[in-house]
Amino acid sequence: MKIGIGNDHSGLQMKQEIVGFLQEKGHEVVNYGTDESERCDYPIYGERVGRAVAAGDVDRGILICGTGLGISLAANKVRGIRAVVCSEPCTARLSRQHNDANVLAFGARIVGIEMAKMIIETWLDTEFEGGRHKRRVDMIAEIEDR
Ligand code: RB5
C-alpha cells in the first residue's frame, strides 16, 4: 500500500520509527511531515496528508501529533477525508469496518511505539464491511454538499 505520513514536532521521533516499520512490511511511504524538531503547526501536516489521500496520490494516511487530535481535525476539513484518532486496536479495526476511515491519527504523547504498531497493523489489515455502513458513510459525504 502507498501510505502518506504526516507529523508535527511532537510526532517526529515516532514518525521515524513508524516509517521503518511500514517499509519493513513492504509499504511505500511518502513523507508529508516535518523532519525538524522545532515547534511547528500541526494543521499544515494534517491538511497535506488529507489532500494527498483525497487526490489519490496515496492510498491511506497516517498522522502523528502530541495527541492525534489537532492533526486529525485539520485533515477532516478536506473533502472526502474520514480521519479517526485511535489509541488502541479495537477502535482502529472498527474505524475501518464501519467508517471506512482513510486517515488514521494517534498521539505520540498518548501511545507507546508498540501500541502504535499494533494500531497501524490492525487498521491497515482491516477491510470496510460496506452494506448498512456504506449508507451511513455516504450520509457523511452528503454533509459536505450542504
Ligand atoms: C503541540 O504541542 C500539540 O498541541 C500538538 O502536537 C497536538 O497534540 C495538538 O492537538
Query: What's the CA-to-centroid distance between 41 and ligand 1, angstroms?
Result: 8
Range of the domain at 29: 2-145
Q: What is the pLDDT of residue 23?
A: 98
pLDDT tens-place string over residues 76-127: 999 999 999 999 999 999 999 999 999 999 999 999 999 999 999 999 999 9
Q: What is the pLDDT of residue 83?
A: 99
Query: What's the CA-to-centroid distance between 131 and ligand 1, angstroms?
Result: 36
How far is it, in rounded angstroms, from Cα 101 to Cα 119? 13
Q: What is the pLDDT of residue 43?
A: 99
CB-based contacts of 12, cutoff 8 Å, min separation 6: 33, 34, 35, 36, 37
Determine whether the shortest distance from the Cβ of 63 to ligand 1 is under 6 A: no
pLDDT tens-place string over residues 10-49: 999 999 999 999 999 999 999 999 999 999 999 999 999 9
How far is it, in rounded angstroms, from Cα 108 to Cα 13? 8
Q: What CATH number corresponds to the domain at position 17? A: 3.40.1400.10
